[in-house]
């Protein structure tokens, strides 16, 4: 397989992306001005809790949002602008240049179609393959993703496979046309931890082998740590912190990031330890203040936090944080807790 | 940080995947009367016949599981899907009957109790379910949901039930005016608190918690885990905690049983067990948990 | 891990503020409600006032078209059509209410029993339902009336019996879905018995399905009554019935075509109204469309 070519232009450039959704209580901004770039072959993770906008962000990349959603900003994929792109053009990209793996292996596959038909669908659609050619290609894909005895399983139905195998089939579908970008939205959340390890290893291997860029969404910091070289922390539709994974894990500059790390129970920790929690709960999208979305729950909140969106503060190694209280935080926290 | 043993290192180990380690054999503590004692629990399910002639397929969910919980102590059962852990929850709660084996709560065999005595025994035995969106009846107010265990016991008046419900809500950090609201008005974490309030209202000695925080976000999970810990310390409640998440079990339990294909393959105190696992399956499980240490 | 605010379940849709406002703006529901209320109003009005007595024959005035005296004209016996329609509404509603009522009470009870007991009880009830449904309703009605005699009571019984398996099946299916929910498991874990769970958890949560089904079956019952009366097996003379008016008008198609139009229109509007009401309720109570927040 060829090594990724680093051309001058990044594969994916997202700039000032806003997504407005219709909710029962009126329109609300689900994504508030996020931006990032992704080079060919680069791996990026997005970590955040429910409602932070991570799924909406990647859905807007694929143009999979409901028609009532309004997207503004710029998404440049290999030079082409995706915001406002015609549906027919987007269809040419989906499954072809951009592949997506979904969270629920049970529901992401059509129970009434054989797997050879489902995996072959992008091949026949985008590569114009005949049924026979697609069949051969699907066989090769199934072997690569580790389905045992694939030749005999081509005409099987999804319900005849286990959860982990179904996710492998989903991966095969996403990869069929050799996309430049692979998006995995919580691909292992619904799987056992031992299966999760296998699936993540598979994805890592395929990404390295084919030089694909990867966007991996997870709520699990361990998954992020082991699989991506840079990461974004999202809260309330904004990126509150972003940068190389090692830097973010080491520095944890933003209070929300600190809260997220502190809230995890650890294996081997002594009994009786109280987990550090973030007080309150995530507010509704319509109730988020115009400024920093974490204002109010953050113990360093001041009035200025609510007023305007904090500008990005650059830290070393390409690490960025959106917080106006960094100095006070550093003064109070002292050394970063391990 | 604890070290995790490399499963490849014991390639020559005499232990087979399905054979429990020595320490997994169950030795009841003779000193204190156990709160819950489960001995040789077996549950096999016969599935509907697939062929007209020939035997029906059998699913062997549990193949002889034993454990006990002393008053005030908590036990965690850790396993993946298909290990039988949810079956244990249902059997202990007497929602299902075992194929063989016994379950004793405070010395009384739950399977042999007549119906009304079993109902009365449930005062000491309550359950918290996994799905905060499914375990509360959408058609009932929070007051009636939380008071349901008292309703079932039929010993208290409606007014007293409402009072106790308010007390229970207070214990979990919710407010009295939440009593007249409906479940859909609350978030997942709050609903799980309501479920915990429901489990608390009869002041039980044992709460069976089946994946109580799996469906919650990390920060919400931390709040609920802290709450469960506080309740342990405040009221001396024992938990039978069932989870696939080793860290959660580590946090709340004094003892852990690792369940694999219906058998306990290893047991011990979590801190020791997770640091020095002996059984290959336990090691595989530990090795599979992704560590929050960046490699890239 | 989803934090999409859970959709308001159909069970509490009525309690969401703004439900009735949305209902009024829903075309099917609004039109259906108006037509259904008209039907009810017609029947109720007929007890208090009709333009003429529907039994009064006025042979010299027979087969007249609409006029100032007789708003919709007269039939072959000189009876006022408008009055006949108003009083005929009574029969339609009576049959609808009682026949559907029989189906609703007996059928729902059987369905709840089947879902609660499972096993051979469920099998027996379902097979009995299949057996009953195997006979087309009209055929059963004809058989019953042939044996026990024609009349509105037997028509009601026939239609009612046919409604029982319909409600039983729908109830059983919905109830089974509710029995598998975790809140029912929680109730069982508290020690609640099957009867308490059925009444307190299952029935309230399937009520939306039953409401919608009731309006639909009501429409079918009205049609069935008209069909039976048309065949001479339902409401007997001199009791007015829309179906019989159609039968009588058949022979006079070329002399007084309007005689067939008015009762036909009445039946059509009643059935349409109830169907629209049912469709509207189904949409409004559907949890996917009734999101809170």
Asked if B281 reaches chain A (Cβ–Cβ under 8 Å), the answer is no
Residue C224's Cβ-side half-sphere holds a number of Cα atoms within 13 Å equal to: 31
B 220-259: CB under 8 A from C? none
State whether A267 and B274 contact (CB < 8 Å): yes
pLDDT value of residue C255: 83
As a whole number, mean pLDDT of residues C248-277 equals 89
**Chain B partners of C288 at a C-beta cutoff of 8 Å?**
none
pLDDT tens string C95-145 = 899 999 999 999 999 999 999 998 899 999 999 999 988 887 778 777 887
> φ, ψ for residue B109 (rounded to 5)?
-75, 115
State whether A260 and B274 contact (CB < 8 Å): no
**Chain B partners of C1 at a C-beta cutoff of 8 Å?**
215, 217
Q: Which of A288-292, B30-34, C117-121, C166-170 is predicted with the least confidence, judged by mean pLDDT?
A: B30-34
pLDDT value of residue C13: 62
Asked if C139 reaches chain A (Cβ–Cβ under 8 Å), the answer is no
Task: Look up residue C140 and give its two tokens.
Answer: 């059963």
Q: Minimal Cα–Cα distance from B53 to chain A, Å?
A: 23
Asked if A282 reaches chain C (Cβ–Cβ under 8 Å), the answer is yes
Higher local confidence (pLDDT), C2 or B103: B103
pLDDT tens string A94-131 = 888 999 998 888 788 888 899 999 999 889 989 899 99
For C181, the closest of B134, B148, B184 (CB atoms) is B134
State whether C182 and B131 contact (CB < 8 Å): yes
Q: Minimal Cα–Cα distance from B122 to chain A, Å?
A: 28
Confidence class of residue B37 from pLDDT cuts 50, 70 and 90?
Answer: very high
Confidence class of residue B137 from pLDDT cuts 50, 70 and 90?
Answer: very high
β-pair type (A238-244, A312-315): unpaired
User: What integer best gives the mean pLDDT of chain A?
Assistant: 89
**Chain A partners of B254 at a C-beta cutoff of 8 Å?**
271
Cα–Cα distance between B198 and B192 in angstroms, integer?
A: 10
Q: Minimal Cα–Cα distance from C286 to chain A, Å?
A: 15
pLDDT value of residue A313: 92
Q: Minimal Cα–Cα distance from A23 to chain C, Å?
A: 7
From the list A128, A125, A132, the residue with the least C-alpha distance to A91 is A125
Other CB atoms within 10 Å distance of the CB of residue C98 = 18
Cα–Cα distance between B16 and B33 in angstroms, integer?
A: 34
β-pair type (A70-77, A80-81): antiparallel
State whether C1 and B126 contact (CB < 8 Å): no
CB pairs under 8 A between A and C: 17
Asked if A167 reaches chain B (Cβ–Cβ under 8 Å), the answer is no
Asked if A51 reaches chain C (Cβ–Cβ under 8 Å), the answer is yes
User: What integer best gives the mean pLDDT of chain C?
Assistant: 85
Cα–Cα distance between A99 and A108 in angstroms, integer?
A: 13
State whether C181 and B122 contact (CB < 8 Å): no
**Chain C partners of A25 at a C-beta cutoff of 8 Å?**
293
pLDDT tens string C36-62 = 999 999 999 988 888 888 888 888 888
For C12, the closest of B126, B134, B182 (CB atoms) is B182
As a whole number, mean pLDDT of residues B122-144 equals 92
From the list C46, C88, C34, C228, the residue with the least C-alpha distance to C149 is C228
CB pairs under 8 A between A and B: 124
Asked if C291 reaches chain A (Cβ–Cβ under 8 Å), the answer is yes
pLDDT value of residue A229: 95
pLDDT value of residue C292: 36
**Chain C partners of B136 at a C-beta cutoff of 8 Å?**
183, 186
**Chain B partners of C15 at a C-beta cutoff of 8 Å?**
182
Q: Find, in chain A, the residue whose alpha carbon is nearest to that of C18.
A: A24
pLDDT value of residue C67: 84
For C1, the closest of A23, A25, A186 (CB atoms) is A186
State whether C6 and B133 contact (CB < 8 Å): yes
**Chain B partners of A194 at a C-beta cutoff of 8 Å?**
80, 284-285, 288
Asked if A246 reaches chain B (Cβ–Cβ under 8 Å), the answer is yes
Q: Is the confidence at residue A146, as pLDDT, over 80?
A: yes
For B290, the closest of A163, A223, A277 (CB atoms) is A223
ipTM: 0.85
**Chain C partners of B139 at a C-beta cutoff of 8 Å?**
9, 11-12, 201, 204-205
Q: Is the confidence at residue B202, as pLDDT, over 80?
A: yes
Q: Which chains touch A (3 or more CB pairs under 8 A)?
A: B, C
| A268 close to B274: Cβ distance less than 8 angstroms | yes
Q: If phi over 0 gives left and psi between -120 and 50 gives alpha, with beta otherwise, what is residue B268?
A: left
Cβ-Cβ contacts under 8 Å for C110 (sequence gap 6 or more):
C125, C129, C164, C168, C171, C172
Q: Minimal Cα–Cα distance from A51 to chain C, Å?
A: 6
From the list C68, C54, C10, the residue with the least C-alpha distance to C281 is C10
Q: Is the confidence at residue B13, as pLDDT, over 50?
A: no
Asked if A185 reaches chain C (Cβ–Cβ under 8 Å), the answer is no
Q: Which of A77-91, B218-232, C146-160 is predicted with the least confidence, judged by mean pLDDT?
A: C146-160
Residue A284's Cβ-side half-sphere holds a number of Cα atoms within 13 Å equal to: 17
DSSP-derived secondary structure letter, A296: T
Share of chain A above pLDDT 70, in %: 96
Q: Find, in chain A, the residue whose alpha carbon is nearest to that of B74.
A: A271
Q: Minimal Cα–Cα distance from B24 to chain C, Å?
A: 30
Share of chain B above pLDDT 70, in %: 89
pLDDT value of residue B63: 93
Which one of A192-206, B6-20, B44-58 scores highest in mean pLDDT? A192-206
As a whole number, mean pLDDT of residues B112-123 equals 90
Cα–Cα distance between B21 and B15 in angstroms, integer?
A: 7
Q: Which of A53-57, A275-279, C14-18, C90-94 is predicted with the least confidence, judged by mean pLDDT?
A: C14-18
SS3 C208: helix
A 203-232: CB under 8 A from B? 219-223, 225-229
Cβ-Cβ contacts under 8 Å for A148 (sequence gap 6 or more):
none
Angle of the C242-250 helix axis to the C81-102 helix axis, nearest 10: 130
State whether C189 and B130 contact (CB < 8 Å): no
As a whole number, mean pLDDT of residues B271-283 equals 91
Cα–Cα distance between A52 and C28 in angstroms, integer?
A: 38
State whether A189 and C1 contact (CB < 8 Å): yes
Q: Find, in chain B, the residue whose alpha carbon is nearest to that of C194.
A: B152
Task: Look up residue B143 and give its two tokens.
Answer: 């007051």
As a whole number, mean pLDDT of residues A208-226 equals 94
For A194, the closest of B80, B223, B248 (CB atoms) is B80
Q: Is the confidence at residue B9, as pLDDT, over 70?
A: no
Cα–Cα distance between A169 and A176 in angstroms, integer?
A: 10
State whether B139 and C11 contact (CB < 8 Å): yes
DSSP chain B: ------GGGGTT-S--TTSPPGGGS----SSS--SEEEEEEEEEEEPPPSSSSSPPPEEEEEEEEEEEE-TT--EEEE--TTSSHHHHHHHHTTSS--SEEEEEETTEEGGGS-HHHHHHHGGGEEEE-S-TTTSS-TTS-HHHHHTHHHHHHT-S-HHHHHHHHHHHHHHTT--GGGTTS-GGGS-HHHHHHHHHHHHHTT--SEEEEESTTTTS-HHHHHHHHHHHHHHHHHH--EEEEEES-HHHHHHH-SEEEEEETTEEEEEE-HHHHHHS--SHHHHHHHHHSPPSS---
pLDDT value of residue B11: 36
Q: Minimal Cα–Cα distance from A109 to chain C, Å?
A: 19
For C204, the closest of B129, B139, B152 (CB atoms) is B139
Q: Find, in chain C, the residue whose alpha carbon is nearest to that of A188.
A: C1
Q: Which helix (H) or strand (E) holds C116?
A: helix C108-117
pLDDT tens string A191-213 = 889 999 999 999 999 999 999 99
| A38 close to A215: Cβ distance less than 8 angstroms | yes
β-pair type (B36-46, B100-105): antiparallel
Residue B179's Cβ-side half-sphere holds a number of Cα atoms within 13 Å equal to: 17
């Amino acid at each position: 397989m060829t090594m990724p070519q680093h051309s001058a232009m990044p594969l994916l450039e997202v700039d000032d992306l806003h997504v407005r959704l219709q909710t029962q209580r009126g329109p609300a901004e689900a994504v508030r001005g996020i931006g990032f770039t992704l080079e060919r072959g680069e791996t990026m993770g997005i970590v955040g809790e429910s409602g932070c906008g991570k799924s909406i962000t990647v859905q807007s990349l694929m143009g999979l949002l409901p028609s009532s959603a309004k997207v503004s900003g710029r998404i440049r994929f290999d030079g082409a602008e995706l915001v406002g792109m015609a549906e027919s053009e987007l269809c040419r990209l989906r499954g072809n240049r951009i592949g997506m793996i979904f969270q629920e292996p049970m529901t992401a596959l059509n129970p009434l179609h054989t797997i050879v038909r489902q995996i072959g669908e992008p091949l026949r659609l985008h590569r114009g393959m005949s049924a026979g050619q697609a069949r051969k290609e699907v066989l090769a894909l199934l072997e690569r993703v580790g389905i045992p005895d694939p030749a005999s399983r081509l005409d099987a139905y999804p319900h005849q496979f286990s959860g982990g195998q179904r996710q492998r089939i989903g991966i095969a579908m996403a990869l069929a046309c050799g996309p430049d970008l692979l998006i995995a939205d919580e691909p292992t959340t619904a799987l056992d931890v031992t299966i999760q390890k296998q699936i993540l290893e598979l994805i890592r291997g395929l990404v390295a082998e084919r030089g694909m860029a990867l966007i991996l969404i997870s709520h699990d910091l361990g998954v992020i740590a082991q699989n991506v070289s840079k990461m974004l922390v999202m809260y309330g539709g904004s990126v509150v912190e972003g940068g190389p994974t090692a830097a973010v894990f080491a520095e944890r500059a933003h209070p929300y990031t600190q809260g997220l790390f502190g809230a995890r129970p650890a294996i081997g920790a002594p009994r009786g330890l109280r987990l550090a929690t973030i007080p309150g709960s995530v507010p509704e999208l319509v109730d988020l203040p115009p400024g920093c979305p974490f204002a109010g729950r953050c113990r360093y909140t001041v009035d200025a936090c609510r007023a305007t969106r904090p500008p990005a503060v650059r830290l070393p190694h390409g690490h960025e944080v959106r917080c106006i209280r960094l100095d006070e935080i550093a003064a109070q926290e002292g050394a970063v807790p391990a | 940080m604890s070290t995790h043993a490399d499963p490849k290192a014991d390639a020559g180990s005499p232990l087979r995947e399905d054979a429990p380690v020595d320490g997994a054999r169950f030795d009841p503590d003779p000193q204190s009367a156990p709160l819950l004692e489960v001995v040789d629990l077996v549950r096999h399910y016969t599935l509907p016949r697939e062929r007209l002639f020939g035997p029906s397929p059998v699913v062997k969910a549990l193949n002889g599981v034993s454990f006990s919980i002393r008053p005030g102590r908590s036990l965690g059962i850790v396993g993946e899907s298909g290990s039988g852990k949810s079956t244990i929850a249902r059997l202990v709660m007497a929602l299902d009957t075992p194929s063989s084996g016994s379950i004793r709560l405070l010395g009384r065999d739950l399977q042999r109790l007549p119906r009304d005595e079993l109902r009365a025994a449930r005062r000491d035995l309550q359950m918290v379910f996994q799905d905060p969106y499914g375990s509360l009846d959408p058609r009932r107010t929070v007051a009636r949901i939380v008071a349901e265990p008292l309703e079932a016991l039929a010993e208290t008046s409606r007014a007293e039930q409402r009072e106790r419900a308010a007390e229970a809500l207070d214990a979990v950090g919710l407010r009295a005016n939440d009593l007249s609201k409906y479940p859909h008005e609350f978030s997942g974490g709050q609903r799980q608190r309501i479920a915990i309030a429901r489990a608390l209202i009869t002041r039980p000695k044992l709460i069976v918690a089946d994946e109580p925080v799996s469906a919650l976000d990390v920060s919400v999970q931390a709040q609920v885990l802290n709450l469960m810990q506080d309740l342990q310390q405040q009221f001396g409640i024992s938990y039978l905690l069932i989870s696939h998440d080793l860290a959660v079990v580590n946090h709340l339990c004094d003892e852990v049983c690792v369940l694999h294909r219906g058998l306990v393959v290893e047991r011990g105190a979590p801190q020791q067990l997770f640091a020095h696992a002996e059984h290959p399956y336990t090691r595989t499980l530990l090795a599979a948990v992704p560590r929050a240490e960046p490699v890239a | 891990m989803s934090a999409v605010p859970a959709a308001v379940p159909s069970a509490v849709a009525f309690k969401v503020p703004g439900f009735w406002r949305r209902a009024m703006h829903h075309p099917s529901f609004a039109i259906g409600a108006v037509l259904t209320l008209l039907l009810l109003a017609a029947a109720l009005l007929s007890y208090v006032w009709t333009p003429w007595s529907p039994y009064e024959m006025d042979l010299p005035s027979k087969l007249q078209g609409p006029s100032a005296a007789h708003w919709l004209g007269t039939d072959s016996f000189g009876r006022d059509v408008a009055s006949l329609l108003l009083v005929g509404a009574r029969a339609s509603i009576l049959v609808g209410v009682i026949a559907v009522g029989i189906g609703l009470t007996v059928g729902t009870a059987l369905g709840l029993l089947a879902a609660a007991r499972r096993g051979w009880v469920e099998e027996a009830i379902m097979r009995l339902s299949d057996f009953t449904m195997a006979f087309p309703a009209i055929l059963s009605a004809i058989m019953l009336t042939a044996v026990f005699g024609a009349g509105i009571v037997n028509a009601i019984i026939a239609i009612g019996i046919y409604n029982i398996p319909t409600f039983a099946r729908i109830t059983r299916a919905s109830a089974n879905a509710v029995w598998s929910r975790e809140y029912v498991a929680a109730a069982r874990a508290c020690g609640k018995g099957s009867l308490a769970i059925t009444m307190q958890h299952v029935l309230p949560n399937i009520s939306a399905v039953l409401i919608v089904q009731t309006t639909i079956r009501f429409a079918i019952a009205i049609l069935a009554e008209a069909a039976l009366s048309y065949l001479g097996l339902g409401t007997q003379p001199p009791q007015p019935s829309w179906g019989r008016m159609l039968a009588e008008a058949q022979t006079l198609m070329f002399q007084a075509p309007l005689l067939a139009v008015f009762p036909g229109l009445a039946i059509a509007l009643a059935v349409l109204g109830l169907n629209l009401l049912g469709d509207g309720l189904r949409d409004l109570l559907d949890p996917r469309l009734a999101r809170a927040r």
